[in-house]
Amino acid sequence: MSAALDAAVLKFGRIDVVVNNAGYGLVGGLEELSDLESRNNFDVNVFGMLNVIRNVLPQMRKQSSGHLFNIASVGGFTGSFPGFGIYCATKFAVHGLSESLATEVEPFGIKVTIVSPGYFRTNFLDSSLATPSAPIDAYEAVRASQSMHQEQINGNQPNDPEKAADVFIEAVKLEQAPLHLFLGHDAYDMVNQKIKNVEREMELLKYLATSTAFND
C-alpha cells in the first residue's frame, strides 16, 4: 500500500483524490453466517478502507488538501434487505467512520464524501457474491432475496457506473463537498422512505422517548 502511494507521489507530486471502492457482497442470514465469514467481510469492506485512509492521510495533511470518496451503499443507510445484514453492517460502519473522519480532517483542508449507490450494473451480484457455508433451510426469505438479486436484478440494474464516475468528477469541483452522496433514483427512493419512517416513529414515541431526563 505505502509503496503504491510513494510511486504515485513520485510521479504526480501529490495525491488529490482517493476512491475507496474495495469490497464484496455477502448474502446470508445472521444465524447462518459464521464468525469467520462475517469478519472476513468486515476485513475487506471496513478495515481495507481504513488501511488506505491511514496510509494516504499523511500525504494529504502534508499538502493541506485532498478528497476521500468512501464507497458505502444505500444498504449502509437502510438495512431492509433480507440476507444482507452483515454486508449492510459493514456499510453502516463506513457511514459512521466517514462522518467522524470528516470532522477530524477538516482542519487540514481534506474533504470526505460518503458515496451510497443504489443498484449499478457491475459484476457485484455475479457468482462471486459470497454465501454461507452452512445454510439453514428455514430461511426461505433469505434464499428468495439471494435468488432475486442474482437472477432478476443482476444484469438489469438501472444505473450506469460510467455516469457515476462523471458524478464523482463533478463533486470534486464543488466548492462545498457533499458529505453524503446518494446515487440513483432507487437510492433516493429508499433513503426518503427510511427518513419518513424514522420521522413518523420519532413523532409517535416522542412523549415516551423524551421522558428520560432526571427532572421529568
Q: What local confidence, expressed as pLDDT, does residue 21 receive? A: 94
Question: What's the average model confidence in pLDDT over 45-73?
Answer: 97
Per residue in 103-150, pLDDT (tens digit) is: 999 999 999 999 999 999 999 998 779 999 999 999 999 999 999 999
Residues assigned a catalytic role:
87
- For residue 44, give every residue at least 6 positions away whose Cβ sits within 8 Å of its Cβ, in sequence order, or none: 22, 23, 24
Mean pLDDT of the chain: 95
How big is the chain, counted in residues? 216
Q: Is the pTM of this model over 0.85?
A: yes
Question: What's the average model confidence in pLDDT over 47-57?
Answer: 96
Distances (CA, A) of 210 to 146, 195, 197, 214, 215: 40, 19, 18, 11, 11
> 29-33, 45-49, 124-128: which has the minimum mean pLDDT?
124-128
- 24 burial via Cβ count (<10 Å: 0-12, 13-18, 19+): middle
What proportion of the chain, given as a percentage, has pLDDT over 70?
99
